[in-house]
A and B are shown apart, each in its own frame.
Chain A
Amino acid sequence: MSISGLDIGLRALAAQQQAIDVLNHNIANANTPGYSRQRIHLVATPPNLVPSLTQMLSRRQVGSGVTAESVDRIRDRFIDFQIQTENRTLGEAQIKKQVYDKLQLVFNEPSESGINSALGQFWGTWHDLSSNPGDRSARSAVLQQALSLTNLINRTYNQLTTTRNDLAAQAALKVADVNSIAARLANLNGQIQRAQLGGAKANDLLDRRDLLLEELSKIIKFNYAVKSDDTIAVFVDGQELVSMTSYRSLTSSLDTSFVLHVQWADNLAEVSPGGGELQGVVTSANTVIASQITSLDSLALQIKNDVNALHATGFDLTGATAVNFFAGTGARDLTIEGAIQASVDKIAAAGQPSAPGDGTVALAIAQLQHLATELDALSELAAGGSLPISGASVQRILTSGASPTTYTITSSGANELTLSAVIGGVPVSQTITISDMAANSSQALEFSSLGITIDLRSGAVAATVADLITDLTDAARDELIVTTRVTVDSAYQQHVAQLGVEARGNDHTVLNELALVGSLQRQWDSISGVSLDEEAANLVKYQRAYQASARVITVLDELLEMVVRGLGVVGRI
């Protein structure tokens, strides 16, 4: 026994005290976001070597106590990575949900104040006009209802562009967030490097950095690499965002064609966010809203062209003809011709001049509601069976998006035709049989599973099946852009349904991701979170150990006292 016993005691007291300090720190930070619990790492100190009195070369190893070697944070890198991945998807889906919710409010269907209802009332006024072509109030009703419809379409268009501009503003905010996080990461890199110079882990700084990375993961996709000195380099779209204490900034802009771009601030090179809220914003602006605007434009143009085509063949009350009803270039500026707004007499309801009771053109316009517009790309078979299919004769293209679908016609049998296409990523095809055509006859090739009908009309000469197949499958013309018979009303209804499908899918994604992220967070908590019960139990453990060590020191003290006071005083009274 020696004074070194006191050392062991002292070391023990210090170690238990440090352990309790760590517990204290954990309990204090039980609710700190991103805080991972820390554990003291107690290690027995190297033993003292005491020479043996009985043997020559052996020595006894006597323990020398305990020391706190390190304080470690308990963290699972893999869970962090998974949380970042799912956060990214969640962020993107949440932004898109906001946009889809807005879009559904903009279109406001089903309701009595949406475009569907306005269209129905519009066609109704033409019916009333055809029954009373001379009646000024019926004409006024046509004009007013038409203005109602065009105003609604204009307003919807404006709301779409406003939403797009709002997204541009949101992109700027998100980009500012990224820049702020990048700045803080760079700063932390420096702090961590300095703090760890002594060799100990800067646990709390590392926690803060991991929290920033989690925040960043919601906004944009990134990769990162941890260096040997615990500093990190963060990469976005393959380029360095943060490297040691320096960082680059992002910026966003809306170009003249209203396409939203995310770019590096220093050289304006394009950045593809790859995921997260920024990607959600970019996709919403450049794909979702862009395609809504395209669809609205084509709806406006279909209404304008279909009505104008018929209206121009009609005669108004003054006997004039070849007058248009609608004017404008698209959904933004669709309106009624000024001449008609000035005088409703100019609405051409009649099929001939000076016939005030004639409402045939008005009736024809009213019937556009259920009569699909005549295909303009009718293929005529002239003598000898030549088939002039040309792009110029096609007026409307089957779309459910920005790009047209192309179809291929092939023949597999003596009188069979196969039409194939890739629709929505899925290849579809249908084979039908065709028959001979007499002169001046027509034949409709119905490809119902593709939703296509091709009308063939023969000219002065009959055409056999062989002629038809030769011409339709001509290698020089084997790509055919076709139009479909679809009324304005049903085109709009399909469009609304499509919007609903996309929105619903995205809603499900949001709910699923929320549940997934929640579950991952709980897993993280299970590993790195502070459990007050656990800390309380450990507190008892270390407290008792401290008390025991203190007791040992007291015992040693008494023993030493005996030595100090009692040894060598024989004979002293």
Chain B
Amino acid sequence: MRITNSMIVSTTLENISANARRLEDLQNKISSGKRVRRPADDPVAVARVLGLKTELRQIEQYQRNIEGAKAWLQVTESALGGVSAVVQRARELAVSGATETLTASERAAIAAEVSQLFASALQLGNTRYASQYVFAGFKISTPPFQAAANPQGYGYQGDGGVIKREIEVNATIVVNTSGQEVFPQVLQGVKALLDGLNASNTAQIQSSIGLLDSGLEAVLAEEAEVGAKVNRLAAADERLQDIGVNVLSVLSSTEDLDMAKGLMDFSAQQNVYQASLKAGAYAVQPSLLDYLS
């Protein structure tokens, strides 16, 4: 096969340019640190990278949701702790108030304290977290419990709304305890005690103990549930943390360049490039004309 000068030049050029192209590609990968920079580099990997990034963002969001839910629940828990203290004190007072032998002034003193306990319970019912009333159901911007001159002694302006937060894909948790769940029983018991004391009705005082007992039971049960939820959130958070680490590592292995390999490839490719330059220089030079006299 005839070989002409322009063939030699064209082959040399083509090889040099192919090597330069590979060199440039490697250089881009190294300087960006990424193995895939655009969809054509590896379409399957890019789709996976996009999905993983979305998942990472979701995990961060869920962790944020968990933080918020935990704070809400913790506020609820400590408020409920206060309520159970109130109920227990009221029960003690009920027991001592049921004694037949109390004087009117003694009874009045107890009634005064019970009245304070009632106000305390109402105040606890109006606990706030980040300017939201936690026991108001959905009506979080107005205080749910108001003292009133009616038979129950208070009015409830909240509702029974259930506030849910999503803490993982398709997993939601109810974060609130509405004021309709535990407080009515507690307040009923305390009011009954107060009424009984004010009316010096021992039978009523006696029966209020039963109400207070069931109120306490309700509070403790609710406290336990809230505590369990807090634990569940802690576990979910930890799980999300682990998942997040795994996702991040898969993302990195898909998207990032193995620096050591990349640098080695680059150095090897540089050698190839230089060799093709040298070979080209030698091939192109001589011709018969140099040797004819």
Partner pick for B64 among A100, A127, A354, A494, CB 8 A cutoff: A127
Q: Which B125-158 residues have a C-beta within 8 angstroms of A?
A: 130, 132-133, 136-141
Interface bits A101-113 vs B (CB < 8 Å: 1, else 0): 0001101011000
Interface residues in A, total, Cβ within 8 A: 66
Give every chain B residue within 8 A of A497 (Cβ-Cβ). 39, 43-44, 46-47
Among A226-234, A261-269, A357-365, A379-387, which stretch is in contact with chain B?
A357-365
Contact B141 A134 (CB under 8 A): yes
Binary per-residue interface labels of chain B (35-71) against chain A in the complex, 1 for a CB within 8 Å, 0 otherwise: 0101111111011011101100110110011001100
Contact flags (1/0) for A361-380 with B, using CB distance below 8 Å? 00100110111000000000
Question: Do B138 and A131 touch across chains, with their CB atoms under 8 A apart?
Answer: no
B287 touches A533 (CB 8 A): yes
A286 within 8 A of B: no
B44 surroundings in chain A (CB, below 8 A): 497
> What's the nearest-Cβ distance from chain B to residue A40, in Å?
18
Q: How close is B19's CB to chain A, nearest CB, in angstroms?
A: 14
Contact B287 A532 (CB under 8 A): yes
B68 contacts across to A, CB distance below 8 A: 131-132
Instruction: Evaluate contact between B40 and A130: CB separation under 8 angstroms.
Output: no
Residue-wise, chain B 268-293 has the 8 Å CB interface mask toward A (1 for contact) of 00000000000000000001110010
Most buried by B among A104, A497, A499: A497
Interfacial chain A residues near B172, Cβ < 8 Å: 363
Point out the residues of chain B lying under 8 angstroms from A388, CB to CB.
none
**B138 & A357 in contact (Cβ 8 Å cutoff):** yes
* Contacts between the two chains (Cβ within 8 Å), count: 180
- Chain B CB count within 10 A is highest, among A105, A116, A358, for A358
CB of A360 to closest CB in B, whole Å: 7
- Give the residue of B39, B60, B289 whose beta carbon is less than 8 angstroms from that of A496: B39
User: Roughly how many angstroms separate A350 CA and B139 CA in the complex, as a whole number?
Assistant: 11
Determine if A527 and B47 form an interchain contact, defined as CB atoms under 8 angstroms apart. Answer: no
Q: Which of B4-12, B83-91, B206-214 contacts A (4 or more CB under 8 A)?
A: B4-12
> Chain B interface: which of A193-201, A331-339, A393-401, A517-525?
A517-525
- Please pick, from A110, A363, A526, the residue contacting B166 in the complex, using a CB distance under 8 A: A363
Q: Is B261 an interface residue (CB 8 A)?
A: no
What residues on A are CB-neighbors of B36 within 8 Å? 110
Within 8 A of A (CB), among B1-39: 1-7, 10-11, 14, 36, 38-39
Give the distance to chain A from B285, nearest Cβ to Cβ, in Å: 12
Q: What is the bound-complex CA distance between A527 and B170, given in angstroms? A: 72
In contact, A507 and B40 (Cβ under 8 angstroms):
yes
Which of B7, B43, B54, B170 is A489 in contact with, Cβ under 8 Å?
Answer: B54
A527→B2 contact, CB < 8 A: yes
B179 to chain A, nearest CB (A): 12
When distances are taken between beta carbons in the complex, the residues of chain A under 8 Å from B60 are: 124
Asked if A531 CB lies within 8 Å of chain B CBs, one says yes
List residues of chain A with CB within 8 A of the CB of B64. 127-128
Instruction: Decide if A493 is an interface residue (CB 8 Å cutoff).
Output: yes
Q: Which residue of A lies closest to B52 (CB)?
A: A110
* CA distance in complex: A124, B164 (Å): 16
Contact of B40 (CB < 8 Å), options: A119, A355, A363, A500: A500
A124 to B47, CA, bound (A): 21
With known contacts A525-B7, A530-B4, A532-B287, A358–B163 Cβ distance under 8 A = yes
How long is the Cα–Cα vector from A154 to B97 in the complex, in angstroms? 74
Interface flags for A504-525 (1: CB within 8 Å of B; 0: not) read: 1001000000010010011001
Is B7 a contact partner of A529 (Cβ separation < 8 A)?
yes
Asked if B46 and A131 make an inter-chain contact with CB atoms under 8 angstroms apart, the answer reads no
Task: For B39, give its contact among A109, A132, A531, A534 (CB under 8 Å).
Answer: A109
Asked if B138 contacts A532 (CB within 8 A), the reply is no
Minimal Cβ-Cβ distance residue in A for B134? A357
Given A127-B166, A363-B166, A500 and B39 contact (CB-CB distance below 8 Å): yes
**Which of B7, B47, B161, B166 contacts A355 (CB under 8 A)?**
B161
Q: Is B165 located at the chain interface by the 8 A CB criterion? A: yes
Report yes or no: B165 in contact with A131, Cβ–Cβ below 8 A: yes
In the complex, A515→B18 CA distance in Å?
Answer: 10
Most central of B6, B130, B166, B170 by chain A CB within 10 Å: B6
Within 8 A of B (CB), among A127-148: 127-128, 130-132, 134
A117 touches B287 (CB 8 A): no
The CA-CA distance from A107 to B40 in the complex, in Å, is: 12
| Chain B nearest Cβ from A419, distance in angstroms | 25
Given contacts A127-B61, A522-B10, contact A531 B5 (CB under 8 A): yes
In the complex the two chains form, is B50's CB within 8 Å of A493's CB? yes
Minimum CB–CB distance for A476 against chain B, Å: 39
CB distance from A214 to the nearest CB of B (A): 15
Q: Does A352 contact B (CB under 8 A)?
A: yes
Provide the residues of chain A in CB contact with B7, threshold 8 Å.
Answer: 522, 525-526, 529
Complex Cα distance, B58 from A350, in Å, reads 22
Answer yes or no: B113 CB below 8 A from chain A CBs: no
Cross-chain contact of A525 among B10, B43, B132, B138 (Cβ < 8 A): B10
Is A540's CB within 8 Å of the partner chain B?
yes
Which residues does chain A contribute within 8 Å of B57, judged by CB atoms?
Answer: 117, 120-121, 124
CA distance A503 to B130 in the complex (A): 51
Query: How distant is B69 from chain A, measured CB to nearest CB, in Å?
Result: 8
Chain A 82-115 interface 0/1 with B at a Cβ cutoff of 8 Å (1 = within): 0000000000000000001000110101100000
- C-alpha spacing A500/B51, complex, angstroms: 15
> Is A448 interfacial (CB-CB < 8 Å)?
no
Q: Does B169 contact A (CB under 8 A)?
A: yes
A120 touches which of B14, B38, B53, B164 (Cβ 8 Å): B53
Most buried by A among B39, B138, B172: B39
**Residues in A whose Cβ lies below 8 Å from that of B42:** 500, 504
A506 to chain B, nearest CB (A): 8
Residues of A close to B14: CB separation below 8 A = 515, 518
Whether a CB of chain B sits under 8 angstroms from the CB of A55 is no
Rounded to whole Å, the gap between the CB of B51 and the closest CB of chain A is: 6
- A492: chain B residues at CB < 8 Å are 50
How far, in angstroms, from A30 to B5 measured CA to CA in the complex?
Answer: 9
Residues of A within 8 A of B287 (CB): 532-533, 536
**CB of B223 within 8 Å of the partner chain:** no
Contact between chains at A526 and B50 (CB < 8 Å)? no
Inter-chain contact A370/B10, CB cutoff 8 Å: no
Q: Closest B-chain residue to A526, C-beta based?
A: B2
User: Is B195 on the interface with A (CB-CB < 8 A)?
Assistant: no
- Interface: A356 (CB within 8 A): yes
- Among A120, A363, A540, the residue within 8 A (CB) of B54 is A120
Nearest-CB distance from B61 to chain A (Å)?
5
Contact B47 A494 (CB under 8 A): yes
- 16 A-B pairs with CB atoms under 8 Å apart are A120-B54, A120-B58, A127-B61, A127-B64, A134-B132, A355-B138, A356-B138, A357-B139, A357-B176, A363-B166, A493-B54, A496-B50, A497-B43, A525-B4, A534-B4, A536-B287
Q: Which residues of B contact A (CB under 8 A)?
A: 1-7, 10-11, 14, 36, 38-44, 46-47, 49-51, 53-54, 57-58, 60-61, 64-65, 68-69, 130, 132-133, 136-141, 159, 161, 163-166, 169-170, 172, 176, 255, 287-289, 292
Q: Which residues of A contact B (CB under 8 A)?
A: 30-31, 100, 104-105, 107, 109-110, 116-117, 119-121, 123-124, 127-128, 130-132, 134, 350, 352, 354-360, 363, 366-367, 369-371, 489-490, 492-494, 496-501, 503-504, 507, 515, 518, 521-522, 525-527, 529-534, 536-537, 540
List 6 A-B pairs, minimum CB-CB distance, nearest first.
A500-B39, A500-B43, A355-B138, A357-B140, A497-B47, A503-B40
